[in-house]
A and B are shown apart, each in its own frame.
Chain A
Amino acid sequence: MDEARRVVLRGAGATGMFAAALAAGLLKPERALAASWNKAAFDAKSTIDALQGIGAANPQKSEDIVIDAPQIAENGAVVPVEITSKIPGTTAIAVLIEKNPQPLAGQFQFMNGALPYVKVNVKMGESSLVRVIATAGGKHYTATKDIKVTAGGCGG
């Protein structure tokens, strides 16, 4: 019996089966636990780099993204931002605070009946434009809102 050959074959077979199972969608890795986190985009120190990081370098301006947030935030540590995209087929919304040390604050993907809506509290180091990117049909759209902060929320 050629033991080495058997081991190689067994290995090849197992790898092949694993690939086939992956392709067939049988092995769905739990994404939340697989820590899929866009480090490059979150670490980016400028809005332009962060937009590139999420693949939305040249977003098109849209009136159909509604950003509901206070014009003046007394406490930069907790600034409520409510976002609704009225763009049909929106599948993702990203929030960037342009003047934060790392602008990208979050990115949300919507599926299986979720509406393109999110409300989140963010920290703002200083007064800044808050930029929202909505993704629909592979295209990126953007809207901004200027928020004045009277007490910063980073460093505290």
Chain B
Amino acid sequence: MAGPMKARAKMHGDYTDIRVLMSHPMETGLRKSGGKAVPKHFIQNLTVKLNGKTVVEGEISQAVSRNPVFSFRVGGAKKGDKVEISWLDSKGDTNKTETAVA
């Protein structure tokens, strides 16, 4: 299940730092629970948009840690600009969040 997702975008001089936390088990398929392997289940795609325009597209594997945290940087953003982040996992579940540049 898709848990909460948090994002923050903060200006640092000439760039804006975008941080995002995604709640996800990121199961590798190698972990065992009660003697049984837990099936693979992980985020595969993520997209970061600034004012509706895609700025970062990521494809990731099960090697990204549980509850993934990412930082990205964009140039030219202004205070109040809209940042949207979404993900899609290997079971077709999705989640998204948005924040404003501070």
Contacts and interface: CB of A to CB of B under 8 A. Distances in A.
Interface of A: 31-33, 35-38, 42, 77-79, 82, 97, 100-102, 104-115, 117-124, 153-156
Contacts of A156: 30-31
Given A110-B56, A113-B50, A123-B28, A102 B65 contact: no
A111 B15 CA distance: 14
B97 interface: no
B64 A106 contact: yes
Contacts of A155: 28, 30-32
B59 A115 contact: no
Interface in B41-95: 44-48, 50, 53-66, 68-77, 86-88, 92, 94
Contacts of A79: 65
A108 B58 contact: yes
Given A113-B55, A119-B69, 17 more contacts: A32-B57, A32-B87, A35-B88, A37-B45, A37-B59, A77-B65, A78-B66, A106-B61, A113-B74, A114-B74, A118-B71, A119-B71, A120-B60, A122-B63, A123-B63, A124-B63, A154-B31
A112 B55 contact: yes
Nearest 9 pairs between A and B by C-beta? Answer: A119-B71, A121-B65, A105-B63, A114-B55, A106-B60, A32-B47, A115-B73, A155-B30, A109-B57
Contacts of A38: 59
A120 B86 contact: no
B63 A100 contact: yes
Contact of A32 (B26, B31, B45, B55): B45
Interface of B: 15, 26, 28, 30-32, 44-48, 50, 53-66, 68-77, 86-88, 92, 94
Contacts, number: 129
Given A33-B88, A102-B61, A114-B48, A120 B68 contact: yes
B45 A35 contact: yes
A105 B60 contact: yes
Nearest to B31: A156
B28 A115 contact: no
A153 B69 CA distance: 16
A106 B57 CA distance: 11
A42 B57 CA distance: 16
A97 to B, nearest CB: 6
A119 B26 CA distance: 17
A118 B70 CA distance: 7
